[in-house]
């Protein structure tokens, strides 16, 4: 199927499959997924044709934020297995042609981490300034007005030191002092540990929270009318508790550490917040920083429109020195896209359209486990919620649990074949009806569609590497071309509820659903190579 060879790094335009280890596959039947379970199911991932997997944290942790509160960067938490289990996973993935990307959480640790225990013990210890400590105001209140993502103030009192410590997320996730050279070097040593073990790169979690304003300047309030405020965090601009200019120097040092292990090693920054676009471009500019950045443009959008897609892609114009973007429609922190953007009555059609759209975008693609099955957002009853954000904000939001339910592997075993024990989150019956076993042999299934679309992206250079050229069609039609040299792939989508007329495309059809010679049905798609 390949039309033209085009040399590029493996990661440029890659499809990366995200695995949430707690919910992928349980090998020891304790109700929680583990590394051995992932290893046993890697053939499914390889069958999709993706380039790499990204593993959410599996490190030692008290699990108050399910692994994003790390207590030992170099240890596997026993619920997931051992370092030997990780080595086996890595070897099996490589044998299947899959790169392995792992999360690194450098902005904060768990309060169980040995570094924090030493830091809180005394103001004059060797690690006393490895975290962000501050004296109270004269009236005993926190040193400034900074607010955390999940709850209220960014500050918690510690009686051992008689000071407040900073946490941008849970109180059990104290922020590291990223300005401290010793902290930076300790984190670089952590990176070297995993790179030497053979990982192919890192996804850097919440990296723009890794440095703060040392002057502890108050954040200004948000005054713009109409902004949705679901949390105290939404009431202020976060100019000073994150996104500091000194972060660029840290990123460049980290990039050098990664490059020391070979040019094929890969880095992607997770960047959220109101300054995300500026930071995504800063973090990836030139050749001395990170390879790509992962934003929330689509993960936070409630409605898919042609304007949203074109405006978002249009922010990356392939200018000199500009980095390379990455896109995701679903992940472990956002409601699943077929529920957020689609509707239950046409769930399969929405799933196919969204897969086709995602695989047609310029940039890297992150595909979340179960997205290839068209899984919907699960509805979790209050008594089964595990996410601290969900519990704190119920019933306003169900938080992140509905996107984290276990993978349904087959329809004949308990809990969809994920585990023989009661899983840590329930497996909805509607997910079991979309199990891998039911979709595998069906050439018209969402799973078969996903495999076909990933193969198109892999085999057609314009889809993987080409420029993005909008066609200027009238909504609800979305149209653009991916162009590389003389190769042009026209991508047409009807995001509306009524049929729409299109000009005859000609050329060779790569993928079509609900497409006629001169019209697209509602949720119709047509991808074609133009002659």
Domain boundaries, the chain: 15-108+181-456, 467-529
Predicted confidence at residue 504, as pLDDT, reads 80
From the list 328, 449, 286, the residue with the least C-alpha distance to 14 is 328
Q: What whole-number distance in Å separates Cα of residue 56 and Cα of residue 33? A: 12
Tokens linked to 62 = 């008290």
Task: Give the model confidence (pLDDT) of 375-426 as tens digits.
Answer: 999 999 889 999 887 887 777 776 799 999 999 999 999 999 999 999 999 9
Topology annotation, domain 15-108+181-456: TIM Barrel (3.20.20)
State the pLDDT at residue 3.
Answer: 46
**Does the pLDDT at position 298 exceed 80?**
yes
| Sequence-distant (≥ 6) Cβ neighbours of residue 486 within 8 angstroms | none
Give the max Cα distance, the chain: 75
pLDDT (average), residues 171-193: 98
CA dihedral 357, 361, 364, 366 (to 10 degrees): -20
Which of 26, 51, 77, 270 is catalytic? The answer is 270
Rounded to 5°, angle at Cα 300 from 297 and 306? 55
pLDDT at residue 2 greater than cutoff 50:
no
Instruction: State the helix-helix crossing angle for 181-197 and 83-95, rounded to 10 degrees.
Output: 60
pLDDT at residue 319, rounded to an integer: 84
What average pLDDT score do residues 46-63 get?
A: 98
Confirm if 211 and 250 have CB atoms less than 8 A apart: yes
**Which tokens hold the place of 492?**
């047409």
Predicted confidence at residue 385, as pLDDT, reads: 92
Q: Which pLDDT score, from 0 to 100, does residue 507 have?
A: 86
Residue 4: its pLDDT value, please?
A: 47
Residue 314 is predicted with a pLDDT of 95
Structure tokens at 270: 């997770």
Per-residue pLDDT, averaged over 8-31, amounts to 97
Report how far residue 223's alpha carbon sits from residue 359's, in angstroms, rounded to the nearest whole number.
Answer: 38
pLDDT, position 155: 98
Give one word for 454, left, alpha or beta, with left for phi > 0 and alpha for psi -120 to 50: alpha
Which whole number is the average pLDDT over 307-326?
93
Considering only CA atoms, which of 192, 138, 132, 195 is closest in space to residue 168?
132
Residues 489, 507: Cα–Cα separation, whole Å: 9
Cβ neighbors of 302 (< 8 A, separation 6 or more) are 340, 341
Is the pLDDT assigned to residue 254 strictly greater than 70? yes
Percent of the chain past pLDDT 70, that is, above it, reads 98
Domain 467-529 belongs to what architecture?
Answer: Sandwich (2.60)
Say which of 77, 111, 205, 487 is annotated catalytic: 205
Provide the pLDDT for residue 330: 97
Cα separation of 458 and 2, whole Å? Answer: 9
Q: What pLDDT shows up at residue 168? A: 97
Residue 389 pLDDT: 78
3-state SS assignment for residue 153: strand
Residues 134-140 have a mean pLDDT of 97
Q: Classify strands 519-529 and 508-515 as parallel, antiparallel or unpaired.
A: antiparallel
Which residue's structure tokens are 């089964």? 384
* Average pLDDT for 341-350: 95
* Dihedral sign computed on CA atoms, order 379, 384, 389, 393: positive
Q: Over the chain, what is the mean pLDDT?
A: 94
Do 531 and 508 meet the contact criterion of CB atoms below 8 Å apart? yes
> Percentage helix, strand, coil, to 5, in the chain?
30, 20, 50
Dihedrals phi, psi of 21, to nearest 5 degrees: -55, -35
Within 295-340, strands assigned E span 324-328
Question: Residue 371: how many CA atoms within 13 Å on its side-chain side?
Answer: 32
pLDDT, position 350: 98
Asked about 270 being catalytic, the answer comes back as yes
274 is an active site residue:
no
Cis peptide bond N-terminal to 12, omega within 30: no
The dihedral built from the CA positions of residue 149, 152, 153 and 159, taken in this order, carries a sign that is negative
Tokens of 365: 């693609």
Name residue, tokens 């044709």.
49
Paired residues of 324 in beta bridges: 292
Residue range 362-382, pLDDT digits in tens: 999 999 999 999 999 999 988
pLDDT at 5 exceeding the cut of 60:
no
- The answer, yes or no, to whether residue 353 has pLDDT greater than 70, is yes
Taken in order 296, 299, 305, 306, the sign of the CA dihedral is positive
pLDDT computed for residue 226 by the predictor: 63
Residues 261-284 have pLDDT tens digits of 999 999 999 999 989 999 999 999
């Amino acid at each position: 199927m390949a039309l033209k060879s085009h040399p590029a790094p493996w990661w440029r335009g890659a499809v990366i499959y995200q695995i949430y280890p707690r919910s992928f596959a349980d090998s020891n039947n304790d109700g929680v997924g583990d590394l051995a379970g992932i290893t046993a199911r890697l053939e499914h991932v390889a069958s999709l044709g993706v380039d790499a997997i990204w593993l959410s944290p599996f490190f030692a942790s008290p699990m108050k934020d399910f692994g994003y509160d790390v207590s030992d960067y170099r240890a596997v938490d026993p619920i997931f297995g051992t370092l030997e289990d990780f080595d086996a996973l890595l070897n099996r993935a490589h044998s299947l042609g899959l790169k392995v990307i792992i999360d690194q959480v450098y902005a904060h640790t768990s309060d169980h981490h040995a570094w924090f225990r030493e830091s809180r013990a005394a103001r004059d210890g060797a690690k006393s300034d490895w975290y962000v400590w501050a004296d109270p105001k004269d009236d005993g209140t926190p040193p400034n007005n900074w607010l955390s993502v999940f709850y209220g103030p960014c500050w918690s009192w510690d009686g051992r030191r008689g000071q407040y410590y900073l946490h941008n997320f849970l109180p059990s996730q104290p922020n590291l002092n990223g300005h401290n050279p010793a902290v930076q070097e300790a984190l670089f040593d952590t990176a070297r540990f995993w790179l030497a073990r053979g990982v192919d790169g890192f996804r850097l979690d919440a990296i723009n929270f890794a440095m703060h304003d040392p002057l502890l300047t108050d954040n200004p309030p948000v005054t713009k009318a109409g902004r949705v405020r679901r949390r105290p965090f939404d009431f202020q601009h976060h100019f000073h508790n994150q996104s500091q200019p000194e972060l660029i120097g840290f990123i460049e040092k980290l990039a050098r550490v990664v490059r020391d292990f070979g040019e094929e090693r890969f880095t992607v920054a997770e960047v959220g917040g109101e300054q995300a676009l500026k930071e995504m471009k800063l973090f990836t500019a030139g050749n001395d920083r990170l390879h790509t950045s992962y934003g929330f443009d689509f993960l936070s959008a409630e409605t898919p429109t042609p304007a949203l897609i074109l405006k978002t892609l249009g922010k990356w114009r392939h200018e000199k020195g500009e980095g390379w973007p990455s896109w995701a429609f679903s992940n472990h922190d956002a409601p699943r896209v077929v529920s957020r953007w689609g509707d239950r009555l046409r769930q399969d059609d929405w799933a196919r359209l969204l897969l086709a759209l995602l695989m047609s975008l310029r940039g890297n693609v992150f595909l979340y486990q179960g997205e290839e099955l068209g899984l919907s957002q699960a509805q979790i009853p209050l008594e089964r919620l595990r996410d601290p954000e969900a519990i704190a904000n119920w019933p306003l939001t169900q938080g992140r649990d509905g996107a984290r339910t276990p993978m349904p592997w087959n329809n004949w075993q308990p809990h969809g074949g994920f585990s023989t024990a009661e899983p840590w989150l329930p497996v909805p019956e509607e997910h079991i009806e979309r199990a891998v076993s039911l979709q595998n042999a069906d050439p018209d299934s969402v799973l078969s569609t996903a495999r076909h679309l990933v193969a198109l992206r892999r085999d057609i250079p314009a889809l993987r590497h080409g420029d993005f050229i909008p066609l200027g069609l009238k909504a609800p039609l979305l149209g653009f071309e991916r162009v590389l040299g003389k190769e042009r792939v026209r991508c047409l989508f009807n995001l509306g509820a009524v049929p729409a007329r299109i000009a005859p495309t000609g050329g060779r059809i790569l993928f079509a659903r609900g497409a006629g010679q001169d019209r697209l049905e509602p949720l119709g798609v047509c991808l074609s190579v133009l002659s």
